[in-house]
Structure 1
Amino acid sequence: MQTEAISNYIANMQLHISEAAYFQSTASWRQTDVVSDFNRLYYFLGEGAQLKIGEEELSPRAGQLVVLPAGTTLSVRTIDNREFSHYVCHFNARSGDQELFELLETPSCVTAANPEATARAFGELVRHYRGGELTSNLRAKLLLQELLCEFLEQGGGANLRRPAGGHVDKVSRVLAFIDHHLSDDVTLEQLAELAHFHPNYFIRFFKSATGRSPMQYMNQRRMEMAKQWMVETNMSVSEAAERVGSSLYQFSKMFKQYTGSSPSEYRKTMRAQPNV
Structure 2
Amino acid sequence: MHNEALSNYIANMQLHISEAAFFHCTASWHHMDVLSDFNRLYYMLGEGGHIRIGEEEWYPKRGQLVVMPAGTMLSVQTMEGREFSKFFCHFNARSGEQELFQLLETPSCVDVADSEETERLFGELVDHYYSSELTSMLRAKLLLQELLCQFLERGGGAKLRQPANGSVDKVSRVLAYIDHHLADDVTLEQLAELAHFHPNYFIRFFKSATGRSPMQYMNQRRMEQAKTWMVTTEITISEAAERVGSSLYQFSKMFKQYTGSSPSEYRKTMRMQRLQQGQQLPLP
TM-score between both structures, scaled by the size of structure 2: 0.79
Displacement of 1:66: 0.5
Equivalence for 1:83:
83
Is 1:203 aligned with 2:208?
no
Equivalence for 2:42:
42
Gaps of 5+ in 2: none
Change (3 A) 1:219 1:35: closer
Displacement of 1:109: 0.5
Amino acid at match of 2:222: R
Amino acid at match of 2:156: G
Amino acid at match of 1:2: H
Equivalence for 2:64:
64
Change (3 A) 1:42 1:251: closer
Find the aligned partners of 1:131 and 1:270 in 2 and give their Cα distance. Answer: 33
3-state DSSP of counterpart to 1:70 = coil
Displacement of 1:174: 1.3
Equivalence for 1:27:
27
Equivalence for 1:185:
185
Change (3 A) 1:76 1:240: closer
Equivalence for 1:215:
215
Is 1:5 aligned with 2:10?
no
- Counting aligned pairs with the same residue, the percent is 74
Amino acid at match of 2:158: A
Equivalence for 1:97:
97
Change (3 A) 1:182 1:119: same
Is 1:151 aligned with 2:168?
no
Amino acid at match of 1:275: Q
After superposition, give the CA deviation of every residue in 1:45-75 in whole Å (9 maximum; x if it has no partner): 1112122222322221111111112232322
Displacement of 1:218: 2.3
Change (3 A) 1:18 1:253: closer
Equivalence for 1:112:
112
Amino acid at match of 2:107: P
Deviation larger for 44-53 or 116-125: 116-125
Find the aligned partners of 1:17 and 1:135 in 2 and give their Cα distance. Answer: 14
Deviation larger for 247-256 or 50-59: 247-256
> Contact 1:12 / 1:209 at 8 angstroms: preserved in 2?
no
Displacement of 1:230: 6.4
Displacement of 1:3: 2.0
Change (3 A) 1:226 1:15: closer
> Contact 1:237 / 1:264 at 8 angstroms: preserved in 2?
no
Deviation larger for 6-15 or 257-266: 257-266
Equivalence for 1:246:
246
Find the aligned partners of 2:233 and 2:97 in 1 and give their Cα distance. Answer: 40
Change (3 A) 1:265 1:5: closer
Displacement of 1:204: 4.0
Displacement of 1:105: 0.4
Find the aligned partners of 2:203 and 2:39 in 1 and give their Cα distance. Answer: 29
Equivalence for 1:275:
280
> Contact 2:230 / 2:263 at 8 angstroms: preserved in 1?
no
Find the aligned partners of 1:18 and 1:243 in 2 and give their Cα distance. Answer: 42
> Contact 1:252 / 1:263 at 8 angstroms: preserved in 2?
no
> Contact 2:237 / 2:263 at 8 angstroms: preserved in 1?
no
Displacement of 1:85: 1.0
Find the aligned partners of 2:2 and 2:107 in 1 and give their Cα distance. Answer: 19
Deviation larger for 52-61 or 162-171: 162-171
Change (3 A) 1:235 1:123: closer
Displacement of 1:133: 4.4
Find the aligned partners of 1:265 and 1:32 in 2 and give their Cα distance. Answer: 52
Gaps of 5+ in 1: none
Find the aligned partners of 2:182 and 2:211 in 1 and give their Cα distance. Answer: 19
TM-score between both structures, scaled by the size of structure 1: 0.81
How large is the Cα RMSD of the aligned pairs? 3.3
Amino acid at match of 1:112: V
Deviation larger for 31-40 or 151-160: 31-40
Change (3 A) 1:76 1:174: same
Displacement of 1:24: 1.4
After superposition, give the CA deviation of every residue in 1:61-105 in whole Å (9 maximum; x if it has no partner): 111111112232322222341222111222222222311111000
> Contact 2:48 / 2:79 at 8 angstroms: preserved in 1?
yes
Find the aligned partners of 1:233 and 1:134 in 2 and give their Cα distance. Answer: 36
Change (3 A) 1:16 1:227: closer
